[in-house]
Chain A
Amino acid sequence: MKYETVIGLEVHAQLKTNTKLFSTSNNEFGDEPNSNVSVVDLGLPGVLPVLNTEAVRLAIIAGLNTKCKINKKSTFARKHYFYPDLPKGYQISQYDEPIASNGLLVVNVDGNEKKIRINRIHMEEDAGKLIHDLSDEYSLVDLNRAGVPLIEIVTEPDISTSEEAVEYLKKLRKILVFAGVSDCDMEKGNFRCDANISIRPVGQKELGVKTEIKNVNSFRYVQKAIEYEITRQANVLDKGDKIIQETRLFNAGTNKTYSMRSKEDAHDYRYFPDPDLKPLIIEDEELERISSDLNQSYEEKLSSYISLGLSSDDVEILLSESILFSFFDKSLELINEPKLISNWIITELIKYKSDIKLDANNFVELLKMVKAGSINNNSAKEVLSKIVVSNESPEKIVKDMGLTQESSEDFLISIIDEVIEANPSEYERINNGEEKLLAFFVGQTMKLTKGKGNPQIINKILKEKFNLS
């Protein structure tokens, strides 16, 4: 029996705000347990939620970047269940009236375009964390994450293959990171994906019974989980059995999905509008303002970079983090050398991306020196490692460290002559055709110049001398 697959994806992305969605504690990963908790996060008696405007702005930006309609009125609802990581016994989410709806994402799989409709984007607060492996007797609760702002992006069941699913996730991630909405770091848990999968005989209109695969934390695993689940469901149906609608988890070790052992029936979440919060109204002017402030979309920026002559691989790296492409843009304003700037960013500056004190001016100064040949690449890398932290003028560092490259041909010729004199047998060999000894002579010359020789010029002189091409 041939089946076709129907997949819908729900992605939870943590918003890049300073504070949490409804409380004043900070939105930070990795701090000491229970150190980013306010009275509101703790769910103490008498506390009340107050909405973070920045979270709203980012949610709107996510909607605009996925071609959604931003709903003028949206409401918050309480979703009830009892669990130790949910302090109030309910999560504040959006149910009937989400902030954005009816969007679209287009992905490219093997050269084919696939349109994936987005049903809705809504805001909600994250729960805390339950840790099971630090104690034998107890599970431990850390509420740092409780209250962190999330957007949930829900697709229509438009996805048909595991490849499409992964492409969708990759594209969505790029868009959200690029727009500054979320860091989308799956390892830190700020980009989580749940997949709803069902299969049906080819041609059947009715959807099959779906299962939900939760919290798969890498794109590779998403692909494997979907593939396994499709096969599993096909096997079940082939045997004449029925698919059980349930939630499953993915075991990365076995590459299989397995049923969650839940003791109770499906949750009755008892959604109702949160009486502590007023409906969220987005005024036209506010939406105008956010839309016009919106940077180029990911697509637009991609094209503009490609038109500068950069390769699509390089562009992908540049666009993967805002620090990288904003550095690129600023540098480009100071020197029209897109390839040079791009290379230096994606191979060198990227190493320091977590903490760059350097500004574009000094960075471009360094690049100018490289271009002019007054220092060689290795020295430039050394200088960069210093100025990334100190943001000093590269000229000053080069002087202090005595790294000025020696480019004078006369000087270099005299050094080369010294090297030739010191290495007569190699000289004879290269003259007899052992071209690979070129590297030896370059190395020796560089040694004698204490690394400051201009390797391009040294090469040129040596090639001329030995009549090499």
Chain B
Amino acid sequence: MYKTIEDINKGYKKKDFKPSELVSEYLSEIKLKDQKLNSYTEVFEDLVFSHAQNLDKEIDSDNSILDSNILFGIPIALKDIFLVKDLICTSGSKMLENYVSNYDSKVYESLKITSCLLLGKNNMDEFAMGSSTETSYHGPTLNPWDLNRVPGGSSGGSASAVAAGLACASIGTDTGGSIRQPASFCGIVGLKPSYGRVSRFGMIAFSSSLDQAGPLCRTVKDSAILLDSISGYDSKDSTCLNLPPTNCYTELCKNDFNLKDFTIGIPSKLLDIGLDREIKTNFDSLIKELISNGVKVVDIELPNAKYSVATYYIIAPCEASSNLSRFDGVRYGHSTDYKNVKDLEEFYIKNRSEGFGDEVKRRIMLGNYALSSGYYDAYYLKANKVKEMIVSDFNSAFNNVDCILSPTCPELPFNLGEKKNDPLKMYLSDILTIPANLAQLPSISIPLSLSKNNLPIGLQITGKKLDENTLLKVANGLENLIGFSATPKG
């Protein structure tokens, strides 16, 4: 059940199995495991099976499509933040419990034309706000490596599903680390592309200047395949860059590179923040191995990165409070019974208070506070200035290195409920992932190793803006060097 995209494509070509057979396998695995894991909010059993049967016929009549289109018939899932016309999309929230979309997201449109199979929607932290998938209205998702622990968040459902073999891949979103951190916690690959690579049209907005969609999957090559299919200009998103889709998979397949071709940077001062001891040890031994293999490794400075969590937790809540103003129950979304309400103001307050969970409320209020008159300069404006400084830091660093390495998370996957009552503690665990969001850089997490008690540790590689090619080559090289192949038991 842990096939990669390439594996499945080969399997179809060799006629080891057909799409409908493969999809049935995934569906039964989901039935078996997902009661516990809760990685899916909705499984499109009938839809996907009949779609798969149609694909069976297509391959029968002309299987050359498998050469030209590697995503053909691949069973994937989508974080429940991507809108699909006529289907419910909840963004992990009671506010949108029954919301049926009137239109397709660009991400879904891009995938649809590849004829991949949409298994269902994955669970997530409510409105993508969280690092553990514990704030979801649908209940938490569990980590397949240890059912007492969180899978990370906000794309925890996506990560858990892929890690447990309940989907070949899933598309998630990353605003402060929400693809990479769960990928790290679940021992899989998670890629956040450069800001502006992938259209945000039809992706429920959290923090508009930081949100990006990206793949969670089994290998770096799979992430390249998926990035190639979802990236590219969309006229419906003004922040989407006017660039064609990436062509990373072809580049990777050329196999014409070596880790020794690149210079790796390590922000050692930043890593002095207090990493879990096992994580530090594992990371340090990788670096030793790289050096002994003749790879150039240099120390780099990111002097302002220590402000990144504070910067992020101003910018993101400000934008979120604004983006979530539209949820008032008038045109869609949760609305209370008019009998309970004496006037319009009360109607709004009840709708929003009933529809949103605590973390969302907290962030909306943080944002409104920071934007309110008298505070704008001190908070939002200041945060954006610091953001620019962080961008400068990276620009300087990238004069000397091609990629920057660090662990993805400062800690191992924590227990359910452990941080729920301590939001600040939860925020601080994003320290290593947030800088790449603020600087709009592409960044990927790949599995590094397992801890002594079998918990995944992830390695994060960050590249130059819009240079996904180099990033994925380095990631692929490291992936091969590391040779991680473990899967969760049971």
Chain B CB within 8 A of A203 CB: no
From known contacts A82-B348, A90-B325, A275-B208, infer whether A47 and B238 are also in contact, taking CB-CB under 8 Å.
Answer: no
**Chain A residues, CB < 8 A from B380:** 272
Of residues 210 through 256 on chain B, the ones whose CB sits less than 8 Å from some CB of chain A are 235-239
**Chain A residues, CB < 8 A from B204:** 45-46
Contact of B325 among A51, A89, A268 (CB under 8 A): A89
Give complex CA distance A333, B297 in Å: 79
**Chain A residues, CB < 8 A from B326:** 43, 45, 87-89
Question: Does the CB pair A39–B103 fall under 8 Å?
Answer: yes
Question: Does the CB pair A46–B238 fall under 8 Å?
Answer: no
Whole-angstrom distance from the CB of A272 to the nearest CB of chain B? 6
Give complex CA distance A50, B344 in Å: 31
Whole-angstrom distance from the CB of B182 to the nearest CB of chain A? 21
Whole-angstrom distance from the CB of B270 to the nearest CB of chain A? 26
Whole-angstrom distance from the CB of A264 to the nearest CB of chain B? 8
Q: Which residue of A lies closest to B200 (CB)?
A: A48
Contact of A44 among B102, B239, B319, B324 (CB under 8 A): B102
Whole-angstrom distance from the CB of A128 to the nearest CB of chain B? 10
**Chain A residues, CB < 8 A from B203:** 46
Give complex CA distance A277, B238 in Å: 6
Chain B CB within 8 A of A278 CB: yes
Q: Which residue of B lies closest to A47 (CB)?
A: B201
The secondary-structure label for the interface of chain A is loop
Give complex CA distance A422, B236 in Å: 82
Give complex CA distance A46, B202 in Å: 4
Chain B CB within 8 A of A289 CB: no
Whole-angstrom distance from the CB of A34 to the nearest CB of chain B? 10
Question: Does the CB pair A42–B331 fall under 8 Å?
Answer: yes
Of residues 80 through 101 on chain A, the ones whose CB sits less than 8 Å from some CB of chain B are 80, 82, 84, 87-90
Of residues 311 through 338 on chain B, the ones whose CB sits less than 8 Å from some CB of chain A are 318-319, 322, 324-328, 330-332
Chain A CB within 8 A of B110 CB: no
Whole-angstrom distance from the CB of A112 to the nearest CB of chain B? 41
Proximity bits, A193-236, B CB within 8 Å = 1, else 0: 00000000000000000000000000000000000000000000
Question: Does the CB pair A46–B331 fall under 8 Å?
Answer: no
Question: Does the CB pair B345–A89 fall under 8 Å?
Answer: no
From known contacts A89-B328, A263-B345, A275-B319, infer whether A49 and B238 are also in contact, taking CB-CB under 8 Å.
Answer: yes
Chain B CB within 8 A of A270 CB: yes
The secondary-structure label for the interface of chain B is loop
Give complex CA distance A49, B380 in Å: 22
**Chain B residues, CB < 8 A from A45:** 83, 89, 91, 96, 99, 204-205, 326
**Chain A residues, CB < 8 A from B83:** 45-46
Question: Does the CB pair B372–A268 fall under 8 Å?
Answer: yes
Question: Does the CB pair A272–B325 fall under 8 Å?
Answer: no
Question: Does the CB pair B331–A48 fall under 8 Å?
Answer: no
Give complex CA distance A448, B105 in Å: 77
Whole-angstrom distance from the CB of B383 to the nearest CB of chain A? 11
Q: Which residue of A lies closest to B380 (CB)?
A: A272
Chain B CB within 8 A of A413 CB: no
Give complex CA distance A49, B240 in Å: 12
Chain A CB within 8 A of B368 CB: yes
**Chain A residues, CB < 8 A from B89:** 45
Chain B CB within 8 A of A388 CB: no
Whole-angstrom distance from the CB of B365 to the nearest CB of chain A? 12
For chain B, the bracket of interface size reads: 35 or more
Give complex CA distance A49, B323 in Å: 13
**Chain A residues, CB < 8 A from B327:** 89
Of residues 351 through 402 on chain B, the ones whose CB sits less than 8 Å from some CB of chain A are 368, 371-373, 376, 380
**Chain A residues, CB < 8 A from B282:** none
Give complex CA distance A78, B209 in Å: 14
Proximity bits, A18-51, B CB within 8 Å = 1, else 0: 0000000000000000000001001111111111
Q: Which residue of B lies closest to A45 (CB)?
A: B204
Whole-angstrom distance from the CB of A1 to the nearest CB of chain B? 35
Whole-angstrom distance from the CB of B329 to the nearest CB of chain A? 10
Give complex CA distance A45, B203 in Å: 8
Contact of A48 among B236, B325, B371, B372 (CB under 8 A): B236
Contact of A90 among B202, B322, B344 (CB under 8 A): B322
**Chain B residues, CB < 8 A from A78:** 322
**Chain A residues, CB < 8 A from B371:** 80, 270-272
Question: Does the CB pair B102–A46 fall under 8 Å?
Answer: no
**Chain B residues, CB < 8 A from A89:** 322, 324-328
Question: Does the CB pair A276–B208 fall under 8 Å?
Answer: yes
Contact of B372 among A263, A270, A278 (CB under 8 A): A270
Give complex CA distance A141, B345 in Å: 16
Proximity bits, B193-206, A CB within 8 Å = 1, else 0: 00000001111110
Give complex CA distance A35, B350 in Å: 29
**Chain B residues, CB < 8 A from A47:** 201-202
From known contacts A82-B325, A270-B373, A278-B238, infer whether A46 and B209 are also in contact, taking CB-CB under 8 Å.
Answer: no
Q: Which residue of B lies closest to A39 (CB)?
A: B103
Q: Which residue of A lies closest to B91 (CB)?
A: A45
Of residues 397 through 432 on chain A, the ones whose CB sits less than 8 Å from some CB of chain B are none
**Chain B residues, CB < 8 A from A51:** 238
Give complex CA distance A193, B355 in Å: 39
**Chain B residues, CB < 8 A from A84:** 328, 330, 344
**Chain B residues, CB < 8 A from A80:** 322, 325, 371
**Chain A residues, CB < 8 A from B235:** 50
From known contacts A39-B102, A45-B96, A270-B372, infer whether A275 and B202 are also in contact, taking CB-CB under 8 Å.
Answer: no
**Chain B residues, CB < 8 A from A141:** 330
Contact of A46 among B205, B324, B372, B373 (CB under 8 A): B205
**Chain B residues, CB < 8 A from A44:** 101-103, 331-332
Give complex CA distance A272, B102 in Å: 29
Question: Does the CB pair A272–B201 fall under 8 Å?
Answer: no
Give complex CA distance A428, B373 in Å: 93
From known contacts A80-B325, A275-B208, infer whether A50 and B238 are also in contact, taking CB-CB under 8 Å.
Answer: yes
**Chain A residues, CB < 8 A from B376:** 270-272
Whole-angstrom distance from the CB of B192 to the nearest CB of chain A? 17
Give complex CA distance A141, B344 in Å: 13
Q: Which residue of B lies closest to A278 (CB)?
A: B238
Give complex CA distance A263, B348 in Å: 15
Whole-angstrom distance from the CB of A143 to the nearest CB of chain B? 8
Give complex CA distance A90, B330 in Å: 14
Q: Which residue of A lies closest to B239 (CB)?
A: A276
Whole-angstrom distance from the CB of A52 to the nearest CB of chain B? 12
**Chain B residues, CB < 8 A from A278:** 238-239
- Could you name 16 residue pairs across A and B whose Cβ atoms are closer than 8 Å? A43-B331, A44-B331, A45-B83, A45-B96, A82-B325, A84-B328, A89-B324, A89-B325, A89-B327, A268-B372, A270-B322, A270-B371, A270-B373, A272-B318, A277-B238, A277-B239
Pairs A-B, 5 closest by C-beta atoms: A89-B325, A270-B371, A275-B208, A275-B209, A45-B204
Q: Which residues of B contact A (CB under 8 A)?
A: 83, 89, 91, 96, 99, 101-103, 105, 200-205, 207-209, 235-239, 318-319, 322, 324-328, 330-332, 344-345, 348, 368, 371-373, 376, 380
Sample of 20 further A-B pairs with CB below 8 A, known A42-B332, A46-B105, A48-B239: A39-B102, A44-B103, A45-B204, A45-B326, A46-B202, A48-B236, A51-B238, A78-B322, A80-B325, A80-B371, A82-B325, A88-B326, A141-B330, A270-B371, A270-B372, A270-B373, A272-B318, A272-B380, A275-B209, A276-B205
